[in-house]
Amino acid sequence: MRVLGIDPGLTRCGVGVVDVRPDRKAALVEVTVIRTPPDLPLEQRLLAVGTGIDELLDAHRPDVVAIERVFAQHNLRTVMGVAQVSGVALHAAARRGLRVALHTPSEVKAAITGYGSADKKQVQAMVARILGLAEAPKPADAADALAIAICHAWRGAPAADSGAAGSVSPTGAQTTAQTPAQAAWLAAERSARTSGVPRRLAR
């Protein structure tokens, strides 16, 4: 599965592309940060971000696009920019007939580290380890985009050991065995549904 992950932002929009095998082994394809200057008119900033996303989608042809879910926060200006960029990304994916998934920060943290309240450094360190990198990509927006992509790939990936004992999903269906990170991801997803929307990955 090839996943293009997006950490939406108006000043810095992280975009990461990963290939993930059925055994959950992940490989880095590309990671970048699309930047726009604050003094540029809003429509021009959104055009620049959209053009950058378009180019990456056409260059790498992902199977799915994963985006960090927008949520309300005290800084209305920031959340508006995030929402606007998310809309641009959703539109770009829809024009190409691509599936889109939205993931909350706690879901991403749980998938990557096994702990839904992990801090940013822990997430970055695990992204580097998962992808076999000497260090995490910088700035943080780049590592976040890769984490979002890996999170989505692992969510739907089958267990590597098909002979392992299965577990029962929340719907009662039999599933393949889960890694600790997968189990933590599901717990974070259930928590997000019942306790409201979590905070965004810290900048």
Q: Report which DSSP code applies to 201.
A: P
> Which residues make Cβ contacts (< 8 Å) with residue 160, sequence separation at least 6?
22, 23, 24
How far apart CA 63 and CA 55 sit, in angstroms, is: 15
**Which residues are annotated as catalytic?**
7, 68, 141
Show the CA angle centred on residue 36, arms to residues 49 and 139, nearest 5°: 95
How far apart CA 149 and CA 102 sit, in angstroms, is: 10
